[in-house]
Amino acid sequence: MEKEIHQIPPRIVILVTPGMGHLIPVIEFAKRLISFYPDFLVTFFIPTDGSSVKAQKKVLNSLPKFITYMFLPQVNFDDLSDDVKAETRMCLTFSRSLSSLRVALKDIMGSSRVVALVVDSFGTDAFDVAKELDLPHYIFITSSAMWLAFLLELPKLDAIYSGEYKDMPEPLKLPGCVPLHGIDFVDPCQDRMNEAYKWLLHLSKRHSYADGILVNSSIDIEPGCLKVLQDGNPDTPPVYAVGPLIRTCDDANSEETDGSECLKWLDGQPLGSVLFVSFGSGGTLSNEQLTELAIGLEMSEQRFLWVVKSPSDTAANATYFSAHSVKDPFGFLPKGFLERTKGIGLVVSSWAPQIQILSHGSTGGFLMHCGWNSTLESIVHGVPLIGWPLYAEQKMNAVMLYDMKIALKPKFDVNGLVRREDIAQVVKTLMDGEEGMKVRNKIEELKCAAVAVLRENGSSTKSLCKVALKWKNHNYKYQ
């Protein structure tokens, strides 16, 4: 009987946080797993909160037949106020989907050999369901190893420090990581009385319950942190560095355009001459900051390709739960800006084929929001950075990127704005300065290392194989 069970293809179920930024890396993980172990099956369970799923479906429908997906029934948020934090919304999406997750898991376990449940950092409440079903449960960290180290440390920090973290007199020294000042902690940690912080603390305490933790990073990108996580604390679950996992094309992400305008324009620009400017799928600037950025780019006299979105004066992640801005962003640009920069710059609305742009020979720099997906894409393609964090854990990422010397830091004023003169200066420095050349050389070194870890005998491939074999050998029990 046991022999017959092990002849059934092993399946893992991945519970995904809503949002393209979380979906993309786990999709790439699933594709890579199956490329090495074709007998595996992967099913995504995706909780829904009422946000548009059109972009997600386009990506999911393009996947190989061995990867399937299911949207869980939509949860009800009628009791939430309009100003609820994004982190609270994500956590509630998971917690209110547990009953439907239980039903879906039981159903799929009745017809196939499920060997593990893999969840996002925001989905660790699902461990309770996994334990009920005697199912091994893992976490997939879609951000950095430093983010994992921070989550593991947060319960201890909460117990010993009673004030607001932004007022901490000394930086937090996570083993193997660059010191972090409280003001650079993840957004929910800026107000410990907020519900979002309470959720983050609750979920962080559950990370130690995992049977293992996969991280979208590599030993070459975060050597000190990963060494400590993998070798240091006996209370930490096994940590598998399986990255950098990035999307290989943007074709399925485009809803209304194929991005050919951007690529044709880049084809006509000199080698390494263009600064790509984009703040990710969820990032938005204020009206004032949008104006400062536009004029700063113009003052720099450098070539640029800018993905512009309509501004928001209320939230830096205003477009996180939607694929595109509702209003035409061009109407918010300074008068005459498009005419004055015609030829030297190209401005596109809301979306551009980021992978193709970063891999294009004419792209010589990237002004970005320090989201982890974009960071890894930049490293893999060897594009030097200007790190301009907006929300979530992006300030933490930025501190690390500055310390690694693969990103320049813009000058923020007391109001958190980057003024036009400082924008012009940091752009000139990256694209045509001595310091920019040092950044370019450093990220080129990292690019070579990032390619090596994903080869057949690379460290990240070995980590993937290690956890995959563990799953394959799981002593499965029929439900």
Q: What are phi and psi of 13, to 5 degrees?
A: -110, 130
387 is written with which tokens?
């790190």
Decide if pLDDT at 104 tops 90: yes
Which letter does DSSP use for residue 180 in this model? B
Q: Are 71 and 61 in contact (CB under 8 A)?
A: no
Smallest Cα–Cα separation from 18: which of 61, 58, 71? 71
Spatial CB neighbours of 225, under 8 Å, sequence gap ≥ 6: 144, 145, 146, 149, 174, 175, 176, 177
173 is written with which tokens?
């020294």
What pTM, to 2 d.p., does this model score? 0.93
pLDDT one-digit tens code per residue, 213-234: 999 999 999 999 999 999 867 7
In angstroms, the CA 268 to CA 264 distance is: 7
| Exposure string for 13-45, b = 16+ CB within 10 A, e = fewer | bbbbbbbbbbbbbbbbbbbbbbeebeebbbbbb
Q: Are 241 and 463 in contact (CB under 8 A)?
A: yes
**Residue with token string 């290690």:** 466
pLDDT one-digit tens code per residue, 153-194: 999 999 999 999 999 999 999 999 999 999 999 999 999 999
Decide if pLDDT at 460 tops 80: yes
Q: What are phi and psi of 283, to 5 degrees?
A: -80, 135
| Cβ atoms within 10 Å of 198's Cβ, excluding its own | 14
| Cβ atoms within 10 Å of 341's Cβ, excluding its own | 19
Domain boundaries, the chain: 2-243+454-472, 252-451
Provide CATH code, domain 2-243+454-472.
3.40.50.2000
- State mean pLDDT over 333-346: 95
pLDDT band of residue 266 (cuts 50, 70, 90) is very high
Helix (H, G, I), strand (E, B) or coil at 28: helix
pLDDT one-digit tens code per residue, 47-83: 998 777 888 888 899 999 999 999 999 999 889 888 8
Q: Which amino acid is at 18?
A: P
252 is written with which tokens?
């399925």
Provide the mean pLDDT of the chain: 91
Taking each helix axis from N to C end, the angle separating 195-205 and 86-95, rounded to the nearest 10 degrees, works out to 50
pLDDT one-digit tens code per residue, 294-323: 999 999 999 999 999 999 887 655 554 444
Q: Which amino acid is at 166?
A: K
Least confident of 110-114, 252-256, 281-285, 286-290: 252-256
In angstroms, the CA 151 to CA 87 distance is: 14
Give catalytic residues, as residue numbers.
22, 120
Beta bridge partners of 365: 275
- State mean pLDDT over 416-441: 97
In angstroms, the CA 56 to CA 58 distance is: 5
10 is written with which tokens?
């092993």
Percent of the chain with pLDDT over 90: 79
Beta bridge partners of 408: 386
Dihedral of the CA atoms 381, 387, 389, 393 (nearest 10)? 60
Half-sphere exposure (Cβ direction) of 438: Cα atoms closer than 13 Å: 9
Q: Are 369 and 283 in contact (CB under 8 A)?
A: yes
Decide if pLDDT at 237 tops 60: yes
E-state strands within 136-194: 137-141
Sheet strands side by side (includes 303-308): 345-349, 303-308, 274-277, 363-368, 385-387, 407-408
| Cβ atoms within 10 Å of 328's Cβ, excluding its own | 10
Fold agreement (2-243+454-472, 252-451): yes
Decide if pLDDT at 256 tops 60: no
| Cβ atoms within 10 Å of 3's Cβ, excluding its own | 6
In angstroms, the CA 49 to CA 433 distance is: 46
Class of domain 252-451: alpha beta
Smallest Cα–Cα separation from 30: which of 12, 54, 10? 12
Q: Are 52 and 26 in contact (CB under 8 A)?
A: no
